[in-house]
Structures are given as structure tokens and as C-alpha cells.
């Protein structure tokens, strides 16, 4: 018979011989009190007992009984049916006690039964107990290891976000300076070119060249505008808004592009989404960037899906927005860099590499999170989560 089954048998017999409701053996170690064997301990009672053991004042009371080697009793709200608790320390002076719960006072005879019961428990652990304890220790260590791993992963993620934020801040400052310098001369170039074109006759051979100048100057201006956006120099206006409404507006804007590029659009917008505190223009820009990227990734057509839904993340409510495409996908090496300012694989097609860094900046300024899943040749998903709870801005 193992020690555990012996103790269980003793608990059962002593309960039957005394007026106890239930009883348990608890032991003390560096980690505090823990429950060993028990009799008639329902799940609910067990939870109450564990709370009782975790309480500092109770722990001191139990400890006093151990060091004094004397039984004690007190009124207790551990169990509504059994309002009195008795403790009987180990006869052999070991670090354990019987906790016995009774409706009223235990009679003298009953108390005697429990003292005898304490004498019946042999001291020391038997091999089965040791194995059990070892197994428990191993499980605990595995749990701790798992938790550690999760914490390290979370820490790494936080670090990489910090690095990203620092990069963005540095480039943002530089970009703001350059953009300011370029904005004024470009406005003059565009203005004067327009005036010159107007003053030329329709047949003038210069017309074509000047139109080219105008087009390129406008392109440069749009890059400058994106740089300014990136440096977040514009006034931010946040109001409560419906993400679905913004999706609809952006889809209208890009419908012709979708049609001409042979891309099928699937929309799965969750009706009645709660409103989020957003700058509508910025969120439109986020969506436009993601949609444009998806379209670029499908030069020969394909499928694009835009979805919205509600989701909890780490216990907090979020509204989620996904843009998925069936395009070329992103290689693992590139995946690490896509949010970096000026990282582009579309330089030849006029890509500036700012789309996703602007997007990242906007989303994080909204207290949100952006995530990517991608597989080469099968497509990419960009997931954006906006917090529903107020964020400090």
C-alpha cells in the first residue's frame, strides 16, 4: 500500500468515526501550503481550501500549529455547511497537518480520533510518493519552461517593434526636412509649366516635352506628399467611424483598377461593427496602400478579399481588417524588411517603398497592430487590428 492510499484510508475511517464533514492532509514547503490527500472534498470545497491555504493570515495560523505541535480550531467561512475548522499536526513532527471541517464543534471523542489518525501516518515518503513528487516537479518545470519561451518570444517581438519605431522616427525626421525643401520648388515647377503649356499653340513641338515635365513634376510632388504623410506632418483628426464605410469608399475608388486588371474582389464585411476612433483619411490611405500592393502583386489577375470582423487580442476587443491577395507572395527575407522605409522591389514600376512604412506608422499611432502572412506564389494577407478601447494618444 502506498503512503497516499494509506492516508486516504485513514482520512475515510476518521471521517466516519468523527463528526467531520470533510478532511484533508496539507503540507508546508518553501512554496507555501499544498493539498495532499483528502476525503469528501468536492471541487468547490477544494477551491475554497486552496484559497484558504494561500491566505497569509491562515498560513501563519497553520504554521503556529505545526511548530507548537498542538491541534487548534476556529470558526471559518470556508464552507457554508461546515463553519468550523480543526487542524491536527503530524504526530511525528513532520511538515503536515490534517485539516478537518465540521458543522459545529468536534466532540472530545472525535478530536481524539483525529489525534490517533495523525499517529497512524508513518513518517517519511515512500518510493511511490517520491516518484509522484518528482513527476510533479518535472511537470512544473516544463510549465515554467513553456512560459519562459512565450515570454522570450513576446520580448523579441516587442524589441523588433521598438527597432522598427526607432527607424521610422529617424527616417521620418529626415524625410520631413527634405519634403519641406522640395515642396515649394516643385509647386513652382508645376505652376509655371502649366502656365507655359497654356500659352503654347496646340501644334507647338514643345508641348509634348512640357507635358512630360508636368507629369514627372506631379509624380515627384506625390512622392513628396507621401514623405510628408510619412513624417506625419499633417493634422490628425480622429472621430468615431465605421471601418466598413471606409472600405466601401476605397473600393469605389479602386473599382476601375480592379476591373481592368482582371482581379476578382470578394468582400466579407461584418455588419454592425462597433465604431473605432480613427482618422478617416489616414485609414483610407492604409487601405489604399494595401489594396494597391495587392494589385501590384497580381499582374495577371487573381483574387483579392477584403474582410472585417471583431476579435479579442490578449483579452482586449479589436476591430480587424484584412486585405488578402492570391498574388506572387513575399519571400521570407523580404518579409522581414517590407515595413522598412524605402524598401521596395518595385522600383522599376515607380514604387517608393514608403507605402507600408506609412501604413505601419498610421496603424501604430492608432494603437493598432499590423501583421502579415505570406507564401511565395500563393499570396499574402495583411491583417490590421484597431483597438476598441480608448487609447492614450
Q: Note the residues at the interface with Mg ion (CB under 5 A).
A: 293, 355
Residue (132 or 221) nearer to ligand ATP, CB:
221
Query: What, of Mg ion, ligand ATP, none, does residue 328 touch, CB below 5 to 8 Å by kind?
Result: ligand ATP
**DSSP for residue 97:** E
Who contacts 174 (Cβ-Cβ below 8 Å, separation ≥6)?
Answer: none
Strands (E), the chain: 20-29, 32-39, 72-79, 82-89, 96-102, 239-241, 263-269, 276-278, 302-313, 316-325, 369-375, 379-387
Query: What, of Mg ion, ligand ATP, none, does residue 301 touch, CB below 5 to 8 Å by kind?
Result: none
Query: Which of 59, 218, 281, 345 is the binder for ligand ATP (CB under 6 A)?
Result: 345
Residue (246 or 263) nearer to ligand ATP, CB:
263
Query: Which of 334, 364, 373, 391 is the binder for ligand ATP (CB under 6 A)?
Result: 334
Contact 351, 338 (CB under 8 A): no
Could you give the CA distance from residue 376 to residue 294 in angstroms, rounded to a whole number?
A: 13
Strand-pair partners of 25? 98
Q: Is 242 in the site for ligand ATP (CB under 6 A)?
A: no
Query: What, of Mg ion, ligand ATP, none, does residue 285 touch, CB below 5 to 8 Å by kind?
Result: none
Q: Is 164 in the site for ligand ATP (CB under 6 A)?
A: no
Residue (244 or 285) nearer to ligand ATP, CB:
285
Who contacts 287 (Cβ-Cβ below 8 Å, separation ≥6)?
Answer: 246, 247, 250, 306, 321, 323
Stretch that binds ligand ATP, among 186-194, 207-215, 292-300, 313-321 (CB under 6 A): 292-300
C-beta neighbour count of 226 within 10 angstroms: 19
Rounded to 5°, angle at Cα 390 from 384 and 393:
85
C-alpha cell read off for 103: 458543522
Query: What, of Mg ion, ligand ATP, none, does residue 37 touch, CB below 5 to 8 Å by kind?
Result: none
Q: Is 301 in the site for ligand ATP (CB under 6 A)?
A: no
Residue (37 or 325) nearer to ligand ATP, CB:
325
Residue (319 or 330) nearer to ligand ATP, CB:
330
Interface residues toward ligand ATP, by CB under 6 A:
289, 293-294, 297, 325, 327-330, 334, 338, 343-346, 351-357, 380
Amino acid at each position: 500500500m502506498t503512503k497516499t492510499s494509506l492516508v486516504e484510508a485513514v482520512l475515510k475511517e476518521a471521517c466516519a468515526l468523527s463528526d467531520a464533514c470533510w478532511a484533508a492532509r496539507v503540507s508546508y514547503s518553501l512554496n507555501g501550503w499544498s493539498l495532499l490527500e483528502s476525503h469528501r472534498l468536492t471541487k468547490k470545497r477544494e477551491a475554497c481550501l486552496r484559497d484558504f491555504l494561500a491566505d497569509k493570515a491562515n498560513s501563519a495560523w497553520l504554521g503556529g500549529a505545526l511548530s507548537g505541535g498542538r491541534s487548534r480550531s476556529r470558526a471559518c467561512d470556508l464552507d457554508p455547511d461546515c463553519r468550523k475548522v480543526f487542524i491536527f499536526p503530524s504526530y511525528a513532527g513532520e511538515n503536515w497537518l490534517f485539516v478537518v471541517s465540521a458543522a459545529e464543534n468536534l466532540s472530545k471523542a472525535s478530536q481524539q480520533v483525529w489525534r490517533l489518525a495523525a499517529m497512524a501516518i508513518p513518517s517519511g515518503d515512500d518510493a511511490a510518493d517520491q516518484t509522484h513528487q518528482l513527476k510533479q516537479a518535472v511537470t512544473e518545470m516544463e510549465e515554467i519552461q513553456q512560459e519562459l519561451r512565450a515570454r522570450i518570444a513576446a520580448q523579441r517581438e516587442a524589441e523588433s517593434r521598438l527597432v522598427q519605431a526607432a527607424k521610422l522616427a529617424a527616417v521620418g525626421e529626415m524625410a520631413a526636412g527634405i519634403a519641406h525643401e522640395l515642396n515649394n520648388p516643385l509647386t513652382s515647377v508645376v505652376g509655371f509649366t502649366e502656365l507655359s503649356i497654356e500659352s503654347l499653340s496646340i501644334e507647338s513641338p514643345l508641348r509634348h516635352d512640357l507635358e512630360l515635365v508636368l507629369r514627372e513634376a506631379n509624380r515627384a510632388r506625390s512622392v513628396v506628399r507621401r514623405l510628408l504623410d510619412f513624417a506625419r506632418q499633417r493634422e490628425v483628426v480622429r472621430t468615431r467611424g465605421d471601418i466598413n464605410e471606409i472600405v466601401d469608399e476605397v473600393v469605389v475608388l479602386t473599382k476601375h483598377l480592379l476591373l481592368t486588371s482582371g482581379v476578382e474582389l470578394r468582400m466579407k464585411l461584418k455588419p454592425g461593427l462597433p465604431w473605432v476612433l480613427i482618422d478617416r483619411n489616414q485609414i483610407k490611405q492604409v487601405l489604399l496602400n494595401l489594396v494597391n500592393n495587392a494589385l501590384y502583386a497580381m499582374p495577371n489577375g487573381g483574387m483579392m478579399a477584403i474582410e472585417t470582423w471583431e476579435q479579442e487580442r490578449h483579452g482586449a476587443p479589436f476591430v480587424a481588417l484584412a486585405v488578402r491577395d492570391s498574388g506572387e507572395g513575399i519571400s521570407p527575407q523580404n518579409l522581414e524588411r517590407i515595413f522598412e522605409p524605402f524598401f521596395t522591389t518595385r522600383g522599376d514600376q515607380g514604387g517608393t517603398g514608403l507605402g507600408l512604412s506609412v501604413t505601419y506608422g498610421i496603424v501604430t499611432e492608432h494603437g493598432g497592430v499590423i501583421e502579415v502572412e505570406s507564401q511565395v506564389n500563393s499570396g499574402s494577407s495583411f491583417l490590421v487590428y484597431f483597438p476598441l478601447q480608448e487609447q492614450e494618444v
